[in-house]
């Protein structure tokens, strides 16, 4: 599907918090153009271009030694503060420009599917409440305070309900890069479709995909195929349907392109 879209001149960009090997390994696409495929990965820290020759790094935000030490110190301080309040949490990864903390390190929730997001959120909120914390918002606030105390002036702290991540970049950085690049290619925001599954607030926090709705995206069309238990912000269209609906959207875009509608 990705190769077909690019073959018909469409620009495709994948935005994710995971690393390039994970995304490229699943897609396996090697488009020949004229449209291009970009992978904006590691939560705003890297951009790769993919073509028939393979994967090429275009941009990488690299933490300094001092920033890396501050990120680690912030994560450790957050875990320690949570422990003092009776909540066991663990640092589960130290990826490029970010540190991830697991708020519910239990076997049942080791790798929860997105279809169980409502149950996951309830389980995490219960753990936080028992520790005297005001939900995910206070957990994130603790992490932000720890990050600033460690010397990070503008920490990006996010949560997917299960984890809290302390980082230097987020999806907004990816979005800024995308809309600037598309504009340079003569593609205005009004011709851009932004699709995701986490636009609505989660535990009182801004949805992960809502970070894609930067000012430059004001005239773009945004749709969600996620469960979105608390609804979606304006102007996002809530379609639901999950992965199958997302694939149907791509197929529809390809059909429209073939017909010359877009």
Confidence of residue 36 (pLDDT cuts 50, 70, 90): very high
CATH number at residue 16: 3.40.50
HSE toward the beta carbon, residue 169, CA cutoff 13 A: 26
C-alpha–C-alpha distance, residues 67 and 15, integer Å: 24
* Judgement on whether residues 197 and 153 belong to the same structural domain of the protein: no
Structure tokens of 242? Answer: 């999950």
Structure tokens of 37? Answer: 């495929």
- Spell out a b/e string for 122-132, using b for 16 or more CB atoms within 10 Å of the CB, else e: ebbbebbeebe
* Judgement on whether residues 174 and 53 belong to the same structural domain of the protein: yes
State yes or no: pLDDT of 15 exceeds 80.
yes
* Judgement on whether residues 8 and 88 belong to the same structural domain of the protein: no
State yes or no: pLDDT of 147 exceeds 80.
yes
Last residue of a domain, one of 125, 145, 167: 167
Domain ranges, residue 105: 65-167
Last residue of a domain, one of 167, 189, 214: 167
* Judgement on whether residues 76 and 133 belong to the same structural domain of the protein: yes
Do residues 167 and 156 make contact, with C-beta atoms less than 8 angstroms apart? yes
3-state secondary structure of 202: strand
C-alpha–C-alpha distance, residues 174 and 130, integer Å: 36
Beta-strand pair 12-15/37-41: parallel
* Judgement on whether residues 143 and 207 belong to the same structural domain of the protein: no
State yes or no: pLDDT of 115 exceeds 90.
no
* Judgement on whether residues 37 and 111 belong to the same structural domain of the protein: no
Residues 6+ apart with CB under 8 A from 105: 88, 89, 90, 92
C-alpha–C-alpha distance, residues 142 and 62, integer Å: 25
* Judgement on whether residues 255 and 134 belong to the same structural domain of the protein: no
C-alpha–C-alpha distance, residues 226 and 30, integer Å: 27
* Judgement on whether residues 75 and 160 belong to the same structural domain of the protein: yes
* Judgement on whether residues 183 and 237 belong to the same structural domain of the protein: yes
Q: What is the pLDDT of residues 158-212, one digit of tens each?
A: 999 999 999 999 999 999 999 999 999 999 999 999 999 999 998 889 999 999 9
State yes or no: pLDDT of 39 exceeds 80.
yes
Last residue of a domain, one of 167, 187, 217: 167
C-alpha–C-alpha distance, residues 97 and 92, integer Å: 14
* Judgement on whether residues 187 and 253 belong to the same structural domain of the protein: yes
* Judgement on whether residues 34 and 22 belong to the same structural domain of the protein: yes
Sheet order of strands, 163-167 included = 90-95, 98-102, 163-167, 156-159
* Judgement on whether residues 55 and 82 belong to the same structural domain of the protein: no
Cis ω for the linkage preceding 39 (within 30 of 0): no
> Structural domain tally of the chain?
2
């Amino acid at each position: 599907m990705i190769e077909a879209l690019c073959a018909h001149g469409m620009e495709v960009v994948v935005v994710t918090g995971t690393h390039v090997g994970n995304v490229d390994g699943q897609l396996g696409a090697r488009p020949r153009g004229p449209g291009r495929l970009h992978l904006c990965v590691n939560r705003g820290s890297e951009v790769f271009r993919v073509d028939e020759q393979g994967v090429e790094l275009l941009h990488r935000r690299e933490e300094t030694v001092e920033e890396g030490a501050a990120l680690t110190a912030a994560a450790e301080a957050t875990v320690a503060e949570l422990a003092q309040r009776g909540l066991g949490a663990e640092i589960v990864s130290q990826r490029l420009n970010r540190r991830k903390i697991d708020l519910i390190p239990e076997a049942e929730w080791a790798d929860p599917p997105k279809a169980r997001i409502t149950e996951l959120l309830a389980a995490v909120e219960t753990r936080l409440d028992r520790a005297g914390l005001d939900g995910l918002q206070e957990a994130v606030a603790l992490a932000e305070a720890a990050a600033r105390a460690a010397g990070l002036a503008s920490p990006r702290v996010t949560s997917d309900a299960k984890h809290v991540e302390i980082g230097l970049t987020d999806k907004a950085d990816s979005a800024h890069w995308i809309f600037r690049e598309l504009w340079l290619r003569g593609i205005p925001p009004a011709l851009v479709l932004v699709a995701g599954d986490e636009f609505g607030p989660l535990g009182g926090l801004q949805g992960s995909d809502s970070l894609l709705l930067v000012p430059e995206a004001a005239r773009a069309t945004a749709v969600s195929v996620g469960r979105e238990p608390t609804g979606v912000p304006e102007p996002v269209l809530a379609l639901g349907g999950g992965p199958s609906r997302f694939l149907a959207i791509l197929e529809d875009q390809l059909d429209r392109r073939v017909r010359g509608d877009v």
